[in-house]
Structure 1
Amino acid sequence: MAAIDPVALDLVDFLNASPTAFHAVDEAKRRLKEAGFVQISEREQWEIEEGGKYFFTRNHSTIIAFAIGKKYVAGNGFSIVGAHTDSPCLKVKPVSKVTKGGYLQVGVQTYGGGLWHTWFDRDLTVAGRVIVKESKGGNVSYSHRLVRVNEPIMRIPTLAIHLDRNVNTDGFKFNAQGHLAPMLATSVKAEIQKLAEESDPTESKDKKNTDKKKHHSLLLQRIANEASCEPEEICDFELQLCDTQPSIVAGAMKEFIFSGRLDNLCMSFCSLKALIDSTSVEGSLDDEPSVRMVALFDHEEVGSDSAQGAGSPVMIDALSRITHFFSASSTKVLEKAIRRSFLVSADMAHALHPNYMDKHEDNHQPKMHGGLVIKHNANQRYATNAVTSFIFREIAEKHQLPVQAFEKITLDPNMLPEYHSIILFILFMQDFVVRNDMACGSTIGPILASGIGIRTVDVGAPQLSMHSIREMCAVDDVKYSYEHFKAFYNEFSVLDAKIKVDL
């Protein structure tokens, strides 16, 4: 059996370090710093230079990193790959304390469009961030800390078939309000623990009374242990449930990755690694006239309408600050830069499911091991058009990378006089559309394309079990995605100079 590709193994490490969007951004920060990127702050004045590499975060759940070419001048374009850090999950409610039937349970709310039945009978834990009150020398401050309980402490058990005889014929049905609350402990065990704490003279009054708050004291104590603080020092938190089963390379031929959050941490990882590696080689930015950028947003799964989502000004703010830092004039250099820029909106795609062949168009069936899927939708749920799809596929052709469904492309023969043979080639390459009688998901692509006016192509690696607690994709497609994004960073500026549209 062939050795597992190191890019896939690196993705598995990234996934296992990233149970939440906060952790994913933290891991991205670590990798960027290790590669020589400098952290800057949106709150401060930026000091940047040609050839420099930088990043900033917003809410610690969105991160934007960029490398400035040494030949960059204000008004030049940006080569951007965008993805998102969030995934469907169960989030702990602001008031989560539930006691019912002799059990301590945790109230949760659904985030995004998850396959919630897959969360039953899993070994669950919690992770996220807490705001902790700190008192030093009479001064009070508040810190942001990431937490993760590494062992399973919760479970949502299914009902025995003896009490639901028709489950296999009528399907598994549940109520998201009444049936999704995980069990944390039994009331008896919790009461014994409470009595033990009350009899301990070292326990403070505040600590003894934490069970009177909005959350079970048992849960607060576990969170406090992870945050290295006392329960009463926790001012607030954002926590979500997580599966404790680690991500892994699997399958009889070790050709798959089984993991949660592949949508969309797989694309986040591939784009991040591509930016890092495309700028880490000595001299890689010497002849670069543009800015290479990766933008990983929070809240895509719920519409992107937040201060740190793709619907916010976070990316246009970054483009503006970079452009105007190098501009000594009052001319509209930002508008010029946007016209010269290009966004690859990278979000996972639906692979052909062998048990549900009828859910796919006959001529549009993305396969695993087939490389990135270019997504089209006539109603603009995806932002791809003939020009943007051509650019992305031409890069793939030059580097002999597969791209995935059959669609005839018609281009102006005067648009690319040097690429007539390439136009013939792309008539036989594959793109993806959904059936006319099926709903279509969307991505950050149309949001950014319409909000900023940037040319955009929507792509994604094919996967199965999308939005399940446990998803799967192909090892080969991880490698193809990474190599395609890296080639995009290296090739776009040269290719774009040869494309003639709107003249």
Structure 2
Amino acid sequence: MTSDAHQLAQRFLAFVNASPSPFHAVEECRRTLLASSFIELKEKEAWSLKPDSKYFFTRNRSTLIAFTVGGKFVPGTKSGFSIVGAHTDSPCLRVKPVSELSKAGYVSLGVECYGGGLWHTWFDRDLTVAGRAIVRAVDGQLQHRLVHIKRPILRVPTLAIHLNREVNSDGFKFNTETQLVPMLATAVKSRLEKTKGDDGKRRAGVEGKHHSTFLKLLSEELECSVDTIVDFELCLADTQPSAIGGLENEFIFSPRLDNLMSTFCALEALVTSSNAPGSLASDTSARIISLFDHEEIGSRSAQGADSAVMESTLRRIVSNVESNKDQRDTAFQETVAHSLLVSADMAHAVHPNYSDKHEENHRPVIHGGPVIKSNANQRYATNSVSGTVIREIARKHNIPVQEFVVRNDSACGSTIGPIVAGNLGMRTIDIGNPQLSMHSIRETCGVDDVTYAVQLIKAFFEDFPAMDARLDVD
């Protein structure tokens, strides 16, 4: 591991530690882009885009799209979009709209299961909450505010083995509605405020839905009064920070690798490539990163990959960039035909204790470089054309890449690649860094693979237009 790789991995740790929710992840990306002279746009406003310039916008503060317009980008000629897609969400527990629970002398927090998590890993962890709140300001404005309680306030305790002697022989089984419930406090009446009025009826607003002490803690973090909190969306998160570990400091142990790793690498590559002297001035493409919310639950939402946000963005770029002088009706379609989407999501590294779960010729290893994911049934969108582009770029820059195909007797996961490819009719490839313990509260990947992914995505942004010119494939 080089010092540069170690430093990049440390920057990733800082990013993921600061991103306990999709809202925080988008805000971290936003700060990085603003510091790198990207101009923030608003979807509600008209756009006027200039060549050799950098832009971004957010939707719902949980999805972010950033792009650069090359100095020689002319829609409808031989210019295209070089896109990297990732997602900001991860499987987690989320606070229910009415969360106050009380049973057996404990005050607990009602939660929902978001996505397909390995829920048994959430037991006996020091948990907290993070997300966004809508707060009513003094002037009546409704404001988006981030909140992150940076200390353990919640825990889902396991049942002692003395009361469940069969747990090791029969497996750890539990009901996600009744037994995956985090405790918040003991219900000692003299120490807790009542959440109901003297008439026994629930109070209005959030005060009638959540425990008063929990709301008080949120209000202190938000620096507002409880009665100005209109609503909130909160994720539960582990308070243990990410870390570099292993005998040779080669592993990253972290929550939310799926998919903040790809989000970070895409952002890093876009910023680095756009900051290189003269890189944008001579570029014929528009370089784009699309960081979507809601991938873990199917992407079908206003800010998910299966929404109109991607097509809407591409059409607005074509229509509003100054270099589009002829405004031909087919300019958008021609530009899409010259484009490629790299769908970047994490991949399954071969497991030392379950190696038979992988097809014998497709066993990606940690530190082996980004994984090209293929599936004949189009659960991944990779084909020979898109695969050739990435393999050729990797070969040119001496970046290792690996291959993954799921076993025929195993179900194959999917990601945003086939969704966006189907919506846009765009060439697409699915790739991702290898990791272990996917969808656990703590996941594992390799330090060197962070560097490999950033190098590959950066090279894609810089080399794809020339590569596309060499492709004699319609």
User: Is 1:210–1:231's contact at 8 Å kept on the other side of the alignment?
Assistant: no
Instruction: From 467, 471, 491, give the equivalent of 2:463.
Output: 491
2:191 counterpart of 1:192: yes
**1:428 counterpart residue number:** none
> Whole-Å Cα distance in 1 between the matches of residues 8 and 386 of structure 2?
27
CA displacement, residues 343-392 of structure 1 (integer Å, 9 cap, x when unaligned): 00000000000100110101110001100000110100000000100100
User: Is 1:8–1:478's contact at 8 Å kept on the other side of the alignment?
Assistant: yes
User: Is 2:207–2:215's contact at 8 Å kept on the other side of the alignment?
Assistant: no
CA displacement, residues 159-189 of structure 1 (integer Å, 9 cap, x when unaligned): 000000010111100000000110000001x
**1:416 counterpart residue number:** none
Q: Aligned to 2:316, what secondary structure does the other structure show?
A: helix
The residue type paired with residue 427 of structure 2 is R
CA displacement, residues 453-478 of structure 1 (integer Å, 9 cap, x when unaligned): 11000000000000000001000111
> Whole-Å Cα distance in 1 between the matches of residues 295 and 204 of structure 2?
38
Q: Aligned to 2:141, what secondary structure does the other structure show?
A: strand
Q: List runs of 5+ in structure 1 lacking aligned partners.
A: 199-206, 405-430
Instruction: From 386, 389, 394, give the equivalent of 1:391.
Output: 389
Q: Aligned to 2:414, what secondary structure does the other structure show?
A: coil
**2:115 counterpart residue number:** 112
Q: Aligned to 2:215, what secondary structure does the other structure show?
A: helix
Question: 1:249 offset after TM fit, Å?
Answer: 1.1
1:119-198 equivalent positions in 2, closer than 5 A: 119-136=122-139, 140-188=140-188, 191-194=190-193
**2:81 counterpart residue number:** 78
Greater radius of gyration (CA): 1
1:370-449 equivalent positions in 2, closer than 5 A: 370-404=368-402, 431-449=403-421
Going from structure 1 to structure 2, the CA distance change for 1:210 and 1:254 (only over 3 Å counts) comes to same
Instruction: From 81, 90, 93, give the equivalent of 1:90.
Output: 93
Question: 1:330 offset after TM fit, Å?
Answer: 3.7
**1:216 counterpart residue number:** 211
Bigger Cα displacement from structure 2, 6-15 vs 343-352? 6-15
Q: TM-score scaled by structure 2?
A: 0.95
Question: 1:194 offset after TM fit, Å?
Answer: 2.5
The residue type paired with residue 471 of structure 2 is I
Question: 1:208 offset after TM fit, Å?
Answer: 9.8
2:221 counterpart of 1:226: yes
User: Is 2:206–2:230's contact at 8 Å kept on the other side of the alignment?
Assistant: no
Question: 1:240 offset after TM fit, Å?
Answer: 1.1
> Whole-Å Cα distance in 1 between the matches of residues 440 and 207 of structure 2?
35
> Whole-Å Cα distance in 2 between the matches of residues 347 and 236 of structure 1?
31
**1:417 counterpart residue number:** none
> Whole-Å Cα distance in 2 between the matches of residues 450 and 210 of structure 1?
42
Question: 1:209 offset after TM fit, Å?
Answer: 8.8
Question: 1:2 offset after TM fit, Å?
Answer: 5.8
CA displacement, residues 251-280 of structure 1 (integer Å, 9 cap, x when unaligned): 111001000000000000001100000001
Going from structure 1 to structure 2, the CA distance change for 1:191 and 1:312 (only over 3 Å counts) comes to farther
Going from structure 1 to structure 2, the CA distance change for 1:210 and 1:67 (only over 3 Å counts) comes to closer
Instruction: From 438, 446, 458, give the equivalent of 1:474.
Output: 446
Question: 1:329 offset after TM fit, Å?
Answer: 2.5
C-alpha RMSD of the superposition: 1.6
**1:201 counterpart residue number:** none
2:330 counterpart of 1:358: no
**1:410 counterpart residue number:** none
2:61 counterpart of 1:63: no
> Whole-Å Cα distance in 1 between the matches of residues 2 and 458 of structure 2?
24
2:354 counterpart of 1:321: no
Tell me the matched-pair count: 462
**2:236 counterpart residue number:** 241
User: Is 2:136–2:142's contact at 8 Å kept on the other side of the alignment?
Assistant: yes
Question: 1:324 offset after TM fit, Å?
Answer: 1.1
Q: Aligned to 1:497, what secondary structure does the other structure show?
A: helix
Identity of aligned residues (%): 56
> Whole-Å Cα distance in 1 between the matches of residues 2 and 347 of structure 2?
26
Question: 1:331 offset after TM fit, Å?
Answer: 2.4
Question: 1:325 offset after TM fit, Å?
Answer: 1.4
The residue type paired with residue 255 of structure 2 is G
